[in-house]
Structure 1
Amino acid sequence: MTDTGVENEFSRIFNLDLIKKNGSEVEYSANEEECKKLAERFSIPGVVRLNARCELKKLDEKLIGDYSLYVEMDAEIIQQCVMTLEDVSESIKENFSIIFKRISLSEVNDAQSKEIDFDADEEDIVFIHHKEIDIGEFIAEYLSLSMNPYPRREDIDRNKLGYVLATEDQLNTNPEKKNPFEVLKDLKHKT
C-alpha cells in the first residue's frame, strides 16, 4: 500500500498498539456509499457487498515482522460480460495475510531502494513507520486483485460468438466469373 494522500473509499484505520496479547479480531462491512465509491474506483457497474473478518496478532521477535494480519473477505460484485457487455454477478471469497514490520523513517528509504527477491507464495511484507494501518485499503486492493479479469455470462455458447473463418467456396458466390477485359476484345483493330 502506498501513501498517496488520496482518500480511501473504504478506510478502516487500526492502531497496532491496541492488539491484545492473544490477538484481536475485527469485522468490517462496506456501507452503500462505500460500495458505490469502490465500484467507481474499479470501473465496474457495482459492488453489492463487501465484508471482511480480520485477525491481527503480534509476532514473536524471532519471526520476520512485528504484526500479522489475516483477512477472510466475502464480496459480491457486478461486472460487464466481456462478450455481451451485460451485467454479470460474481461472488468472491478470498483469504490473504500480510506481515507488518516496523522500521524507522530513515530505514523506509533504504528499504525502498533495495532489490528484494520474493516468492509468489510467500506472505506479503509491508514496512511501516507508524502505529496505524489502513486495513480497509488492503481489503480494497485485494478485492481488485481477486476480480475475474474476463467475466462471462455462464449461458453463453462460445461457438456462436466471435469470428468464423469462411472457406474459399463460401466466398466464391459466382463460380463462372467473366473476364472483365472480354468487352475490349471486340474493340481490337482488325489488321
Structure 2
Amino acid sequence: MTQNDSPAPEFSYEIDIDDVGRAGKKFQLSSNETERAMIAKRLKTPSVEKLEGEMRVTASKTGVRITGDIAADLTRECVASLEHMPETIAESFEIDFTRIPSENDDVEEEDLDAPEFLEGETLDLGELLVQQLSLSMEPFPRKEGAKSLAEAYAPKENASPFAGLKQALGKSDDNQ
C-alpha cells in the first residue's frame, strides 16, 4: 500500500525533519476527544480517555532519533470476564530512523532491530505516538480477581470426553 492509499491517521502531528537539526526540538502532544475515539476504534478497545506524549527529535544527514514518554489512560475489556477495566500506561521509548536506504531487500534476512528507513522529509509524531501506545498496551488484559466465563458456566466437575460412555456401560474408575 502506498502512502496515498493509506487512510488518514486518527492523530496526526507532522513535522519537517529539516527544521529539527542536530540540536533537536521538543514536542508536546495531546490528543483531543474526537481523536481518542478514533484511536480506540482502531485499537479495538472501549475507550481512550487520555493520550499524551513528550518527544525529543534530533536529526542528522544519516538518521533521526526520537526519545520520548507516553502517558495514556484507557478502558479495556478483560479477556476472562469481558468486564471493562482501566489500564494506565506511562513509559519511555526510543525510535531510530535511517535516511540511508538498505541495500538488502530480502525481508527474511532483515535485522528487526535496525532503524526503519525514513522516506521523505516529514515525520508524523502523532502516528508514532499511537503506534507506541499499541505496543505498550497489555496484550491480554485481565481484571484482578476476575473469574473467567468458562469457569463460571462450565460443569463443576472436570469430566473427560469418555465420562458419559463410562456411565452408560456402568463402569467406574475402579472397575475399568
TM-score relative to the length of structure 1:
0.70
Equivalence for 2:158: 166
Bigger Cα Rg: 1
Equivalent residue for 2:91, pick from 94, 101, 121: 94
Local SS of the residue matching 1:150: coil
Partner amino acid for 1:77? L
Moved over 6 A (4+): none
Equivalence for 2:174: none
Q: 1:84 to 1:24 in 2, by over 3 A?
A: same
Q: Distance in 1 between matches of 2:41 and 2:83?
A: 17
Q: Unpaired runs of 5+ in structure 1?
A: 179-191
Amino-acid identity (%): 26
Partner amino acid for 1:118? D
Partner amino acid for 1:72? D
Equivalence for 2:132: 142
Are 2:118 and 1:128 aligned?
A: yes
Partner amino acid for 2:73? E
Q: 1:20 to 1:102 in 2, by over 3 A?
A: closer
Q: Distance in 1 between matches of 2:115 and 2:158?
A: 54
Are 2:74 and 1:77 aligned?
A: yes
Equivalence for 1:182: none
Local SS of the residue matching 1:153: coil
Q: Unpaired runs of 5+ in structure 2?
A: 171-176
Asked whether the 8 Å contact 2:81–2:147 carries over to 1, the reply is: no
Partner amino acid for 1:92? I
Q: Distance in 2 between matches of 1:77 and 1:135?
A: 20
Q: 1:100 to 1:41 in 2, by over 3 A?
A: same
- How far the C-alpha of 1:142 sits from its partner, in A, is 1.6
Equivalence for 2:173: none
- How far the C-alpha of 1:100 sits from its partner, in A, is 2.0
- How far the C-alpha of 1:7 sits from its partner, in A, is 0.4
Q: 1:152 to 1:20 in 2, by over 3 A?
A: same
Partner amino acid for 2:35? E
Cα RMSD (Å): 3.0
Local SS of the residue matching 2:115: strand
- The one-character-per-residue Cα deviations of 1:114-172 (angstroms, maximum 9, x if unpaired) are 654426xx4x51212311011111111121121112111113257x936554368xx79
Local SS of the residue matching 1:145: helix
Equivalence for 1:37: 38
Q: 1:113 to 1:155 in 2, by over 3 A?
A: same
- How far the C-alpha of 1:14 sits from its partner, in A, is 0.8
Partner amino acid for 2:111? F
TM-score relative to the length of structure 2:
0.76
- How far the C-alpha of 1:76 sits from its partner, in A, is 0.9
How many residue pairs get aligned? The number is 160
Q: 1:116 to 1:57 in 2, by over 3 A?
A: farther
Q: Distance in 1 between matches of 2:88 and 2:124?
A: 24
Partner amino acid for 1:133? L
